[in-house]
Amino acid sequence: MIELVKGTKLNENEREEIKKKLTDNFFAREWSERERLWTAFKVDYEKRINIDEVPDLDIPASKKLFFFDESDNEIYLTTFKAICELVDDMSNRYFVDGYIFDETFEWVIATTHEDVCFVVTEKYKPPEVKPPKTGKVKLDFSKCRYYVQVFEVLREGLNLPDFLESWPGLSVCMRDYTKEDLKVEVFGLAKLPRAWDEDMEGMRRVFDKVHKDLPNITFVYYN
């Protein structure tokens, strides 16, 4: 495989560690592997620039940077000068969907397949949540007649923010929910309209991931 940029290609363990730090710092919502990473960042569209403006950024030429080539899943330790040389070589169409950042993880420049870059400086901040102190939560969906009521049950039972109205939002709210032992008892799913079955599977997937990431939180389903 032709190396995309001058520098040192990281090995698999180093690459995965750096990717995790990048996503932990900047992911603002749940992400699917079918998507490009930058679509899950909190992008300020006013900060977008054209790809040929990258060399004009106020970054020293010798500054050590990481360049993540998402298409080939490779991360290079390189310099800003080397990245600028890559940008200048506009015949190299591999320079798409890439990420430029440094060891501080305070910012990232996301290059897209549309030759547009997003300068992302806002890191992920978990929403304020107030987990119940009882050690047990009951979520009863049996009285839900309208789909929006499902999220009312979640907001009230788990003390989640008022803006919660989607499964990606639920995932974000519960990412760092609590380090204390918590049992979540789920009732009434069998009484919901069958037309909601696929949507409610979204909730189960979020809960499964929460338990995987935070084993201290368990979910028990009752008929």
Report phi then psi at 192, rounded to 5.
-80, 155
Going by pLDDT thresholds of 50, 70 and 90, the confidence category of residue 133 is confident
35: left (phi over 0), alpha (psi -120 to 50) or beta: beta
For the chain, domains (ranges, CATH) are 8-120 (no CATH), 136-221 (3.30.370.10)
Cα torsion 128, 177, 101, 56 to 10°: value is -20
Q: Which two tokens stand for residue 71?
A: 């298409």
Region of poorest pLDDT, from 10-24, 111-125, 209-223? 111-125
Quote the pTM value.
Answer: 0.58
- Mean pLDDT throughout 38-47? 77
Position 73, amino acid = N
**3-state SS string over 66-132?**
EEEECCCCEEEEEEHHHHHHHHHCCCCCCCCCEEEECCCCCCEEEECCCCEEEEECCCCCCCCCCCC
d(CA 120, CA 193): 42
Going by pLDDT thresholds of 50, 70 and 90, the confidence category of residue 3 is low
Residue 76 contacts residue 67 (beta carbons within 8 Å): yes
Which residues share a beta bridge with 76?
Answer: 9, 67
Cα torsion 86, 87, 90, 92 to 10°: value is 40
The SS3 assignment for 9 reads strand
Going by pLDDT thresholds of 50, 70 and 90, the confidence category of residue 1 is very low
Residue 14 has pLDDT above 80, yes or no: yes
d(CA 176, CA 156): 18
Residue 10 contacts residue 76 (beta carbons within 8 Å): yes
